[in-house]
Amino acid sequence: MARDVPRTKVTSDITSVLAVTEARWHGPLAAEGRRLTVDRPPRPPSVHAAPAVIQEILDVLLANALTHGSGPVSLTLRDINDEWIAIDVGDHGPGFPEPADAAFERRSGRSDGHGIGLALARSLAHAEGGRLAITHTGHPTLLTLTLRRRGAATQASSAPAGHLTTTADDDRPHH
């Protein structure tokens, strides 16, 4: 699914993607005694990204939360501005050691469960014209997928980089 040039003509009904994600991950998380909450606005927008690609990214993030995290898992759709939306995936695991972006480096042959998942998810997000970032390294750990709204200009600007950052010592979001 990875591509070198972002696609802008494919759109997704984000409500459907989140419903599939919730149905797919509720059981595996519940089997581990963990709750999945999904929060979305009453009228979520459509976005410029293929549904299968968004689903793949969310699957990687939720598999990461299941394997490496702990406690409840949250999936939150929120508006950034008129052009961008964000999907936050959070859990109460140990977080990411500094430098947190090292989690996106491709690895192979490791026995500790670190590999190419997050690197692949970030590549897929970029190929769809979006971004994937670790936006909170502490408790809760938070990864954010940023996607362009359908109807937003596709050439005016790139996805907001670092639109929300916090550290393990400060659990207040900064815009």
Comparing CA positions, the residue from 166, 141, 14 lying closest to residue 84 is 14
**pLDDT for res 42:** 82
Do the domain assignments include residue 123? yes
**Any idea what the CATH number is for the domain that residue 81 is in?**
3.30.565.10
- Using CA atoms, how far apart are residues 95 and 70, in angstroms rounded to an integer? 10
Q: How many domains does the chain have?
A: 1
- Collect all residues with Cβ–Cβ distance below 8 Å to 93 and sequence separation of at least 6: 65, 68, 69, 70, 71, 141
Looking up tokens 């409500």, which residue turns up? 15
145 touches 86 (CB < 8 A): yes
Do the domain assignments include residue 5? no
To the nearest 10°, report the CA torsion of 116, 155, 79, 20: -50
Q: Would the pTM count as exceeding 0.85?
A: no
Do the domain assignments include residue 19? yes
**pLDDT for res 2:** 45
**pLDDT for res 138:** 76
Do the domain assignments include residue 173? no
Show the domain range for 130: 12-153
Do the domain assignments include residue 165? no
| Structure-token pair, residue 80 | 């950034």
Do the domain assignments include residue 169? no
**pLDDT for res 160:** 57
Do the domain assignments include residue 1? no
DSSP string, 136-149: ESSSSEEEEEEEEB
**pLDDT for res 29:** 96
Do the domain assignments include residue 129? yes
**pLDDT for res 7:** 52
pLDDT in tens, the chain (175 residues): 444 455 557 888 898 999 999 999 999 999 999 999 999 888 878 899 999 999 999 999 999 899 888 999 999 999 899 899 999 999 998 877 676 666 666 665 555 555 678 888 999 999 999 999 888 877 788 899 999 988 766 544 555 554 443 333 343 333 3
Q: How many CB atoms lie within 10 A of CB 94?
A: 14
- Using CA atoms, how far apart are residues 49 and 128, in angstroms rounded to an integer? 5
**pLDDT for res 166:** 37
Looking up tokens 């490791």, which residue turns up? 110
Instruction: Give buried/exposed letters for 2-32 (b at 16+ CB in 10 A, else e).
Output: eeeebebeebbebeebbeebbeebeeebeee
